[in-house]
Structure 1
Amino acid sequence: MAMEKTRLKLGLVPLIDAAPLVVAKERGFFAEVGLEVELSREASWASIRDKVAVGALDGAQMLAPLPLAMTLGLSAIRVPMVAGMALNLGGNTITLANALWERMDHAAPSSAAALKAVIEADKALGLPPMTFATVYPFSPHAAELRLWMEAGGIDTERDVRLVVVPPPQMIAYLSAGNISGYCVGEPWGSLAVRLGLGHIAATSREIFAGRLEKVFAVTRDWADRHPETHAAVLEALIGAARWCDENRCELAELLAQPHYLNAPVDALMAPLLGEAGLPKDLVVF
């Protein structure tokens, strides 16, 4: 059967795990199945959510819990969604500011328990709770940060303040002192280390190995009206994801381009190849 639509606009947030969409366009996987695709770089997950919901985007890379949250009406917009495929497993890091890291190192081994000791010291001095960021309320990042902290005895409802910051803005917030740390998808964790602004305390591989991270999603209405087009998109993305795992050095060069991640190629090599202390299977496509 013929596709219902061949010209599509798909959204992504500048992260390494947007790779299957980037590769599908740049290496011709979309073209091979007869699709002409424009990729739209979006600033935040809220932007992705809203634009897919109103039809400004045909589909998008999404946080794994986001389609469920949209379907259930847990987010700002209630829209039935379909997540056709997983884009990757893992890929997140928890990064802490240098000043906090040094205090933790003095308190105990650098872990969530060490952070707990610092928090208790601040409480004794009457200081306000430290602020930490995740990328969206319904996200693997929020769950991972809470799991890591709670394993060290930290009450994430009372001992700290959690806020939402778009992934590409995390480093700026950390540098300005607006947050003490964050959980984010790569490369925005290891890049802060590269810039001398922080230290990685934990990775998603250590907190919850094999966990679903991003999906490709469309609205239920869009999927019902474009079944052949939807199948073609998924076919292209599956081929692109396979290419990503087999060509990681070239993948870093594609993602580094200004209209995608706009980051140094060698900064993307660390999370993709397992360098600079990161696990080799931090990101699995």
Structure 2
Amino acid sequence: MNDSLPTALAWVNGSDAPELNSIDVGFMPLTDCASLIVAATQGFSQPYGLNIQLRRQTSWSSLRDNLVNGELHAAHSLYGLVYAAQLGIGVAAQDMAVLMGLNQNGQSINLSTALQQAGVITPEALDRHTHQSGTKLTFAQTLPTGNHAMWLYYWLASQGIHPLEDVESVVVPPPKMVEHLKAGRIDGFCVGEPWGASAVNQRLGFTLATSQTIWPDHPEKVLGCSLAFVEQYPNTARALVMAVLEASRFIEGSLDNRRSAAQMLSGVDYVNAPVEDIEARLLGHYSDGLGHEWQDHHAVSFHRNGEVNMPYLSDGMWFMTQFRRWGLLREDPDYLAVARQVQQLDLYRQAASALSIEVPSSPLRSSQLIDGKVWDGRDPAGYARSFTLHALAGAAPDANEH
């Protein structure tokens, strides 16, 4: 498949062979599960002595529970899901692991046609409507501790809208978002693709913001598992990372590879959505439903020479700062110590080096978010306390899915 394969195959011989020949790996029907699907079905795992059995999940909470109880060996996971399980938020605490990043970018905040017809088509108009209409809008996200809740809260707060006081927040599984929007049960949602594009294509609403406008090249889905899995089956975990790294690199090898990935994802066993709902935004072609079209320079990415896949300590810590900000954590954890336990940096470095994929020199990275704040991981407790809008005492969101 590539020139690095002979070096990589050294890992599967003798004592380095995977302890398990077949593993159950969960995923949610979203565009950003692509690298797992490609790894499992296009011959990227077999050279490492590994058979990936894909297990489609119905909700993030069921995926989390199956990951924690051992029904799944590993899964396409939300960063926030892994860290909430680690910290015992919404579920009994269990030591967890992030093996690698699966993607960056590629989520969206959509509003309903009713709001569009009312002229609520800009952040400023949404701010006015929220504070003047007298009724609370209802927004859906996918898990109270998940990425989409954090993107929704962060974006609303950056526009002066308090996500815990000014609006109602409910949990809806990703494939059900469009149905809920159509039925009028929600006024908007934050979710991964292709469901934002699907709502636009069905003329059921419009995309008001993308997650990459909140944080360009933000961390998104990860390859998650229990720490016990890594400790008990280290060679299997490394082989899985190598197979998914190869698949990630393949997807970004050409536009045709992305198109073929979109075609595959559209199948009933995977995302089960029209290929046109998946392909455009996978290629970075955006249409917001308001007549605007653009080529997004921070569209969903799966590899980018390894920059996407590094399990940065700062990425994991950021989600904990948001848990603290919104009252999901009552006290500051030892941010760095927890991230060092969860992020499997040594295993990732082994896998990437064997594939001649560059490993960033620092486990921290610096980014500027939509509100102008710079996050670099150096003072997580101070960062968590620095926000004007945050949870008041006793106003923490419910960490359980309804």
Query: TM-score by structure 2 length?
Result: 0.67
* Residue number in structure 1 paired with 2:219: 212
Contact 1:111 1:152 in 2 (8 A): no
Contact 2:18 2:233 survives alignment (8 Å): yes
Aligned to 1:137: 144
CA distance in 1 between counterparts of 2:90 and 2:251 reads 31
- Contact 1:11/1:41, CA 8 A, preserved across alignment: yes
Distance across 1 between alignment mates of 2:132 and 2:270: 42
Alignment of 1:1-285 (within 5 A): 1=15, 2-105=17-120, 110-123=121-134, 128-246=135-253, 247-275=257-285, 276=287, 277=293, 279-285=296-302
**Structure 1 residue aligned with 2:367:** none
Q: What is the aligned-residue RMSD (CA, Å)? A: 1.2
Q: Unmatched 5+ residue regions in structure 2? A: 1-14, 288-292, 303-402
**Alignment partner of 2:104: what SS?**
strand
In structure 2, distance between residues paired with 1:145 and 1:3: 40
Question: What is the deviation of 1:280?
Answer: 4.6
Residue identity matched to 2:234: P
Aligned length: 277
Retained in 2: the 8 A contact 1:16–1:186? yes
1:25: Cα distance to partner? 1.2
Distance (whole Å) between structure 1 residues aligned to residue 163 and residue 225 of structure 2:
33
CA distance in 2, matches of 1:146, 1:38: 35
CA contact (8 A) 2:18 2:50 kept: no
The structural deviation recorded for 1:75 is 2.5
2 CA distance for matches of 1:163 and 1:192?
A: 18
The SS at the match of 1:283 is coil
SS of equivalent residue, structure 1 residue 137: coil
TM-score by length of 1: 0.94
Contact kept, 8 Å, 2:60 with 2:142, in 1: the verdict is yes
- Give the aligned residue type for 2:271: L
Q: Write the letter of the residue equivalent to 1:113.
A: E
Secondary structure of the residue that 1:93 maps to in structure 2?
A: strand
Distance in 2 between residues matched to 1:178 and 1:242, nearest whole Å = 40
Q: Is the 8 A contact 1:103 1:118 kept in 2?
A: no
- 2:19/2:233 contact within 8 Å kept: yes
Instruction: Tell me how far 1:147 sits from its aligned partner.
Output: 2.0
Alpha carbons 2:25, 2:55 under 8 Å: kept: yes
The CA deviation at 1:97 is 0.3
Provide runs of 4+ in structure 1 moved above 6 Å: none
RCO higher in structure (CA 8 A, sep ≥6): 1
Q: Percent identity?
A: 37
User: 1:10-51, CA deviations, whole angstroms, 9 ceiling, x for partnerless residues?
Assistant: 000000110111000121111121111210000111111100
The structure-2 alpha-carbon separation of the partners of 1:111 and 1:283, relative to structure 1 and needing over 3 Å to count, comes to same
Q: 1:158 to 1:54 in 2, by over 3 A?
A: same
| 1:181 Cα deviation from its structure 2 partner | 0.2
The answer to which structure has the higher strand fraction is: 1
Q: Which letter maps to 1:216? A: L
Q: Is the 8 A contact 1:272 1:280 kept in 2?
A: no
